[in-house]
Structure 1
Amino acid sequence: MAARDKFYHPYSPYDIQLQFMSSLYDCLEAGKVGIFESPTADDDEPNWMLEYSKKEKTQALTQKWRELEDRLARIRKEEERKKKKEKLLHSFPRLSKKQKTDVVAQGTAADESFFELDHYESDTEIGKNASNPGLGNIEGLSASTVALLDRFKGRDTDRKEDESELENQTKIYYCSRTHSQLSQFAQELRKVNLPSSLPSLPGDGPIQEHAELEEIIKHLTLGSRKQLCINPRVSSLGNPTAINERCMELQQSGVASNKKCSYLPTKESEDLLSEFRDHVLSTVQDIEDIGFIGKQLAICPYYAARTAVNHSEIVTIPYPLLLQKSSREALGLSLRDHVVIIDEAHNLMDAIANIHSISVTLDQLRTSLFQLTTYARKFQTRLKGKNRVYVTQVIRLVSSLADNLHSLAQKNKSSEVIIQYSDLVSGKGVDQINPYKLSRYLQESKLARKVDGYVEHNTQSNSADKAVKTTVPVLFQVQSFILTLMNPSDEGQLFLEKTNDGILLRYMLLDPTNHFRDIVDEARAVILAGGTMSPMSDYADHLFSYVSPDRLDTYSFGHVIPPKNLTAHILAKGVLGSDFNFTFDQRNSETMIADLGQTVANLCAVIPDGVVAFFPSYEYLKQVLNAWNKPSKAGGGASLYSTIEKYKPILYENQKKDNSTDDILLEYSKKVDSGSGALLLSVVGGRLSEGINFSDKLGRGVLIIGLPFPNIHSAAWKAKIGHIEKQTYAKRQDEPESTRRAIAKAAGRDFFENSCMRAVNQCIGRAIRHRNDYAAIIMIDRRYETSRIQAKLPAWIRQSLVSDVKASSLCQDGLVSFFRSH
């Protein structure tokens, strides 16, 4: 086997896995954008079961590092090393319980100068970061911290040559949605043993295989301050934005040295930073490991982790830190000529849209306006030049937003309505404001931080309550919203919503293209991977529309299971003869809901062990449960609920975000293990539809009830579909007018259906989890019979569809035969 085909898989891979790895290798070598669909094959144990061993693993981890520290302590017996270590430890004392890390208290009128704005001149500010482009958008960092990050990123003059060589080495940036998924990746990475890549020196002679050097994979996982902050007075704030802002506050030049965070690296801590880096890279670590190392060495792991970036070969990172350019710059990450792999990428476009969407309430606008006005009056004699101009502009803009939002809410009776930017900024001369200059001022002047600091100081000065704030400052939220208004108007849409909490102004990103394009343009290769990426047309049409066809490849691999281990059915009719058509207009039919209950009971009678049913929404699940619990006119008054429970006990998911999900899963598992089987009623897009493994007996049957189309009449979906139609129409300029309109309308419908079917495919993928697993998939709705909908199913599902089985009785017969053969 050629070296290029040696993937060093920890286990003997299946043929499909070899095909996947070979195609992935080709894609990376060619520097392409690749979309890979390959169903997941996991261990037999479901994810929620593994959580029970977490405590034991934590204890084992602690013991591991205690042993490591013991070894390091023995090495440090040398006198010179000991003196150096004592000096470093003296520079980094641990925080005592009495020590405070709050911003220096400003108790007198003279101290209020701390909240004054620094001199700002926009004409000269444009190029102030020209020599330091990677840090251009890091708001609020002190000069010393910027210099520190410069050194972390290889810009220190004493280390330039070494760091530039390391930067030229190709890295893999592996991104997933959650830290738990990244930790799982790290666990798998530990199983891989690669041969040494170090070349033999002249005269060494042949190296025997058993004597090859062992080379550890240099892996680093990066996280946010919320995951990595070890300062208890900061991490206890809980809210990510509050933690970020408090961290920034403690780095301001006006904070007394004894009040600053003692964990922050300084010029004197280079040896300690090197020690941290070596610990992090010594073995494959996850985010908890890195936090533990920081605590052991009493140095901030959030900042210290920068020292390991250039030395790493694989860097794992959660979605938000990769998908936001400002976050990448703050972390000092360059994707230039490196590989980016995004796992669980089926919801990538939604993730990008969510990250770059934001909302603000009318109350928040009014509160921030009051704070800005109070600040401006207090410092009016000290606001000079451009500061006076821009503070006045911010006040006018916020005032205009608040007044116009209130006026629009009174004019519109609907609970949700699309509004235009021009409607929000009319009057008060706001149309004369240069939005780009104002945006730059907000980012560079630290106005929000100064105003919030003064407001907090003023509040505490007039109150005996000195408690640490835990909420996100209002002005930061308003500033974030203002900055989104600077996006091109055709990328997003503004909505006015009336909720129980008041009037809400929401910006929703409609087009994720430009926010991902800089990643694609910079990286050597970009890979999107997931177990169920189908339907894939949206990625080519709406995320990579600018990528030439010869650079974009899509791959859909089969499942590791043999075809006989899966059967898929479409039920168009129920056992009582009803046509199953769960459209929004017809799904309330009592007759159809009753037929659904009897059909589910019959299916539970022939499917062994655990069955998971997915409903379109929580509201509809609740409606069906209420109907099933009513006494039936037939069957002696027994309810359909009790009829189903003759075959399997019923458990169901609720909409509350609490620990009940874990309790339901455990109860479900217990019932299945007891031999009684169980029926678990869930929701498409709910907490059980992603990331949960219903392997083996836990998922012998998956029922998809209806198609979970979003509400096409909502303002948000009208805007999304309208945006797709407008884009498609603009691209077809050479077509006749009627053809352009028809194609645009079809593109909008396709986008709408794709959103629905991606959610369905995620649910279907919950059941089959390993080579020997087997299950039945039943899609209950006549619309699944259409070729257009079936084409959006993964290939491994389509090839297992049983043809011409539309009646419940035929489906039952087929299921009996299927499970009898297993």
Structure 2
Amino acid sequence: MASESFGFPFEPYSIQKEFMKELYNVLSEGKIGIFESPTGTGKSLSLICGSLKWLKDNDEKGSESPETTAQPKANQPDWITALQRQSTHTKRQLDLAKKKEELKKRIDRVRDIEKRQGIFELATKERGKKRLRPDTSGLDDNDDDFLVDSYESDDEKTTGKKIDTKSNLSKEVQELLAKFESKKKPFISYDDDADDDGAMLEDEVKIYYASRTHSQLSQFVHEVSKTVYAKDTYEISLASRKNLCINPDVNKLGNVNKVNEACLDLQKKGSKKGPCKFLPAWDNAAKWNEFRDHALAKVRDIEDLVTVGETLSTCPYYGSRNAVKSARLIVLPYQHLLHTSTRESLGISLKGNIVIIDEAHNLLETMTSMYTVSLSLHQIQLAWNQLNLYIQKYRSRLLGKNVVYIKQILSIIKILIRHLTPQEESQRKDSVMRVNEFLHASSIDHINMFKIQNYLEASSLARKLNGFIDKAREREEEERQKEQLKNPKAPIAQPSPSLTSSTLTLTQIESFLMALTNPDKDGRIVTSFGSLENPGAVIKYMLLNPADAFKPVVEEAKSVILAGGTMEPISDFLNHLFPSVPESRIAHFSCGHIIPPENLTTITLDAGPTGQPLIFNYESRQDLKLMDEVGIAIANLCNVIPDGIVCFFPSFTYLDQVYKRWATADNGKILTQIEKRKKVFKEPRESNQVENTLRDYALQINSPDKMMGALLLCVVNGKMSEGINFSDSLGRGIIMIGLPFANRGSVELIEKMKYAQQYSNGNSNAGTEYYENLCMRGVNQSIGRAIRHRGDYATIILLDKRYATPRIGRKLPRWIGEHVEHADRFGLIMGKTSKFFREKKA
């Protein structure tokens, strides 16, 4: 390593130094790194300083080897080949240096302008500023806007390009022109100079940083701005149109799908409302480069980019995509990076670049859910009705093979409806099939789904259909209102069922059909006919193999870093995300906590106050004595743990059952005993009530009455088990009730366990391992809510004797698992906990 000075904004702790050194080494060796660093240990800053230090050093030594830049000619002496390679390498390096210097001069000039004029200074101070959304009329009323273009494609060679049957040009020439037109995108090039400049800068190594939410990404950008790398690192944030659109006629629509549709409609030739006044011509390099230079002049988040776009009257959505070529640090949400089609649509190339995925503890579940598609019977029927209305409206005007393909899609939809509405009651049984089995059983195995995919992509049928339905619904509503004015006493007419929804129903159908092209072993078709809790028939494509979806990232990127506060159990990543990656290419780093060891005590408990064993398995959860036992245990712990206690239950159902028992048994004696020392709060099922509950919980803890704290009853994998900061007095105690194992009878879980077992390379316990790991990831996220900074302290109490077994203990985060104490009787835990907090008061 060139230097051990990582440019940390303050003196780093030893574990931060270790983290950055290991990260630097992993990037240098082109490995996959799994990094675990508890919240409060400066993980984000360590990621930033370690990776940007590596990027700076990599630039200085030159990342392109001369040996790879020229091919030898036949019978040419080696010394001539070497000289040619050196010459080619040197010329390219000089050209690249020239382009970088030109870009630097432009950005320095922009920085000077911004400083002198004081523009964009309010960008970071007006986060809550609400964008104006004037109430203007809807988009184009022309019905032809929703008519798909002529389509002629019967072979894979045309790749679904649109062909104009009225053109005098041959089909082959039109296809060549279509390919040429497809390259004229804002993130590809604007003119010859811009293309050369962008292509060369695009070859530089970039860092792609992804996280789950925009707030996490904004926080990351804010951390970058604190470092010594802020001035010399060209950073750009990517986001959806909904977050970046500055056209008030479009962003007022709110819904992400509607915003996307409206944006694309404004770019359509002949649109009455277009072109968008904030979208410069694609060949207006000066305007696009102006946005790029201002965007890169400072480290900015998406709110800053909106301000830049508004000031320059240039679209931040396309402007940020164009700036990717010149940027070195690209900050983007999970979905933009992990979803192949989204990545391709943004023009993102991971080849030879660095990928950092933060908050990666749920990466497996994220990948699985992104590629899993679920369709209800209602959605499928709605799509069929809407597509029927569409073809009735436009049949006489549809050119080429549009009618053929739309009828084929209608036929497939009809088959899906029949599959979910069997004539015999005996056939209404939940089922699981492999993809090929489903295709054969449904008699659609003869249909070329790739051709269907080409057609849907080229025709934009789903988007056109949605626009058509929205307009039809508006017209129907206008007619209904007119009739109501004419005859106020008449019954109010109900809207047509086919027009009641504005959701992209056909888009969901399209996603399902595309999932059917995945490898047969990688997924299952799950059919469910509902239950009392969730009535209604549903068909779902369930992805079982996230490794295949993640494989392009692993193969293209120079190095991939997965980072999180709690990454255990690591075995899941190795088995289900990197099964084909050599063990030598994977590095695992887990650092301790920055708190001194005496600031955390973790205790497992075998039995309650009366000696009853604490085993919260599925069979014993209904045991009323066990509910009473855990209530008495918590009531006693409330006497010795000050301020706030956060208690996690395996599920909402069990939380409600136990709370009801405490409140009613023996005239509510247990709940009354708890409430003598702690005011009790429960996590609400409704997401919009979570913030109010947390506020009231915090207010109670910070009230003048220091003798009365608060107890917050939560659920593992609920809203309060991840991303909530229970630091200091908000979480002096974390109590985990039982092990939150998922329902082992779930059809989906059974299939995932079977798949894990089948492709386990001989591990006889692979299915069970997957099941346990799923449980322990939830536990680890929950118990990590307490310790949030160096001076914090807390106790973690695990109420279930199974926590003391080595098999479960090994799956706890290292910073917790290495210091777990065991109490086989309740008296011991009371003594240990009392002593812990007495010493903190001293």
Q: Hey, what does 1:26 align to over in structure 2?
A: 25
Equivalent residue letter for 2:551: R
2:247 matched residue in structure 1: 231
Do the aligned residues in 2 keep the contact of 1:101 with 1:260 (CA within 8 Å)?
no
Asked if residue 655 in structure 1 is aligned to residue 689 in structure 2, the reply is no
Q: Does the CA-based 8 Å contact 1:572-1:806 persist in structure 2?
A: yes
Counterpart pick for 1:271 among 261, 283, 286: 286
Deviations 1:700-722 (A, max 9, x none): 11100000111010111111111
Output the amino acid matched with 1:781: D
CA shift at 1:424, angstroms? 5.3
CA distance in 1 between partners of 2:5 and 2:480 (Å): 62
- Unaligned 5+ segments in structure 2 are 43-109, 121-130, 163-177, 482-498
Question: Structure 1 segments of 4 or more deviating over 6 A?
Answer: 67-70, 142-145, 466-470
CA contact (8 A) 1:616 1:709 kept: yes
- Give the secondary structure class of the aligned counterpart of 1:506: strand
Describe how 1:105-144 pairs up with structure 2 within 5 A: 105-106=141-142, 112=144, 115-123=147-155, 126=158
Preserved CA contact (<8 Å) 2:221 2:299: yes
**Amino acid in the other structure paired with 2:698:** S
Q: Which residue of 2 aligns with 1:692?
A: 724
Aligned to 1:352: 367
Partners of 1:693 and 1:769 within 8 A in 2: yes
Aligned twin of 1:208: none
Q: Kindly indicate whether the alpha-carbon contact (under 8 Å) linking 2:190 and 2:282 is maintained by their aligned counterparts in 1.
A: no
For 2:35 and 2:480, how far apart are their aligned partners in 1? 54
CA offset digits 1:274-320 (Å, max 9, x no partner): 23222222221111111222222222211111232122121111111
Quote how far apart the aligned CAs of 1:593 are. Answer: 0.7
Report if the CA contact (8 A) 1:101-1:250 is conserved. no
Task: Work out the CA distance in 2 between the residues paired with 1:754 and 1:357.
Answer: 21
From 806, 816, 833, give the equivalent of 1:815. 833
Residue 417 (structure 1) shift = 4.0
Preserved contact between residue 120 and residue 386 of structure 1 (Cα < 8 Å): yes
Conservation of the 8 A alpha-carbon contact between 2:160 and 2:457: no
Distance 1:426 1:403 in 2: 15
Distance in 2, Cα, partners of 1:612 & 1:31: 41
In 2: Cα distance, 1:646 partner to 1:74 partner? 57
Compared with structure 1, are the counterparts of its residues 655 and 448 closer, same or farther at alpha carbon in structure 2 (3 Å cutoff)? same
What is the letter of the counterpart of residue 475 of structure 1?
L
CA displacement at 1:21 relative to structure 2: 0.5
Q: Answer yes or no: is 1:678 the counterpart of 2:714.
A: no
Which among 407, 429, 434 is matched to residue 448 of structure 2?
434
Q: Distance in 2 between matches of 1:105 and 1:399?
A: 31
* Alignment of 1:720 onto 2:752: yes
Aligned residue runs from structure 1 range 137-536, under 5 A:
146=182, 148-149=184-185, 151-154=186-189, 156-194=191-229, 215-256=231-272, 258-267=273-282, 269-383=284-398, 385-407=400-422, 410-412=425-427, 417-419=431-433, 421=435, 425=439, 430-457=444-471, 464=478, 471-497=502-528, 498=530, 500=534, 502-536=536-570
Give CA-to-partner distance per residue, 1:592-648, whole Å, 9 cap, x none.
11111110011111112211111101111111110111142xxxx552111011122
CA change 1:501–1:562 in 2 (3 A) is: same
Pairwise CA distance, 1:791: 0.7
In the alignment, is residue 780 of structure 1 matched against residue 799 of structure 2? yes
- Amino acid in the other structure paired with 1:817: K
Larger RCO (CA within 8 A; separation ≥ 6): 1
Q: Distance in 1 between matches of 2:442 and 2:607?
A: 62
Q: Aligned pairs, how many?
A: 724
The residue aligned with 1:41 is 40
In the alignment, which of 611, 631, 644 is matched to residue 674 of structure 2? 644
Quick one: structure 1 residues 266 and 648, their matched pair in 2 at CA, closer, same or farther if it must change by over 3 Å? same
Q: Secondary structure at the match of 1:570?
A: strand
Shift in alpha-carbon separation, 1:114–1:412, aligned structure 2, 3 A: closer
Could you say if the C-alpha distance between residues 817 and 491 of structure 1 is closer, same or farther in structure 2, counting changes exceeding 3 Å?
same
Q: CA deviation at 1:240?
A: 2.0
Aligned-partner residue type, residue 330 of structure 2: V
Contact 1:404 1:425 (8 Å CA) reproduced = no
Quote the Cα distance in structure 2 between the aligned partners of 1:423 and 1:242: 36
TM-score normalized by the length of structure 1:
0.83
SS in 1 for 2:33: strand
Identify if the C-alpha distance between structure 1 residues 502 and 345 changes in structure 2 by more than 3 Å, giving closer, same or farther: same
Tell me which residue corresponds to 2:611.
Answer: 577
Deviates more, 1:159-168 or 1:302-311: 159-168
SS at match of 1:432: coil
Alignment partners' CA distance in 1, 2:327 and 2:571: 35
Q: Is the 8 A contact 2:9 2:226 kept in 1?
A: yes
> Residue 226 of structure 1 contacts residue 235 of structure 1 at CA under 8 Å; is this kept in 2?
yes
Q: Which residue of 2 aligns with 1:57?
A: none
Task: Give 1:786 shift.
Answer: 1.2
Is contact 1:182–1:318 with CA below 8 Å preserved after alignment?
yes
Identity among equivalent positions (%) equals 39
Preserved contact between residue 473 and residue 500 of structure 2 (Cα < 8 Å): no
Could you tell which deviates more after superposition, 264-273 or 606-615?
Answer: 264-273
Query: Match for 1:220: what amino acid?
Result: I
Deviations along 1:351-402, one digit per CA (max 9) or x if unpaired, are: 1111111211212222222333343345445555543432232121111111
TM-fit CA distance, 1:574:
0.3
| Structure 2 Cα separation of the partners of residues 72 and 409 of structure 1 | 75
Pair 1:765-2:784 in alignment:
yes
Equivalent residue number for residue 800 of structure 1: 819
Cα RMSD after superposing both structures: 3.0
Report how far residue 679 of structure 1 moved: 1.1
Q: How many angstroms does 1:448 deviate by? A: 2.4
- 8 Å CA contact retained: 1:401, 1:425: no
Q: 1:791 to 1:15 in 2, by over 3 A?
A: same
Distance (Å, rounded) in 1 between the aligned partners of 2:641 and 2:741: 27
Contact kept? 1:220, 1:284, Cα under 8 Å: yes
- Structure-2 separation of matches of 1:163 and 1:490: 41
SS in 1 for 2:560: strand
8 Å contact kept, 2:150–2:398:
no
Query: Residue 261 of structure 1: CA displacement?
Result: 2.7
- Conservation of the 8 A alpha-carbon contact between 1:693 and 1:767: yes
Question: Residues of 2 paired with 1:461 and 1:669: CA distance?
Answer: 50
Assess, with a 3 A threshold, how the Cα gap between structure 1 residues 396 and 244 changes in structure 2: closer, same or farther: same
Judged with a 3 Å threshold, the aligned counterparts in structure 2 of structure 1 residues 403 and 718 are, in CA distance, closer, same or farther, namely same
Distance change in 2, residues 1:145/1:263 (3 Å): farther
* Residues 47-72 of structure 1, C-alpha deviations (whole Å, 9 max, x = no match): xxxxxxxxxxxxxxxxxx9x987954
* Aligned-partner residue type, residue 652 of structure 1: K
Q: Which moved more, 1:357-366 or 1:346-355?
A: 357-366
Q: Give TM-score, length-normalised by structure 2.
A: 0.81
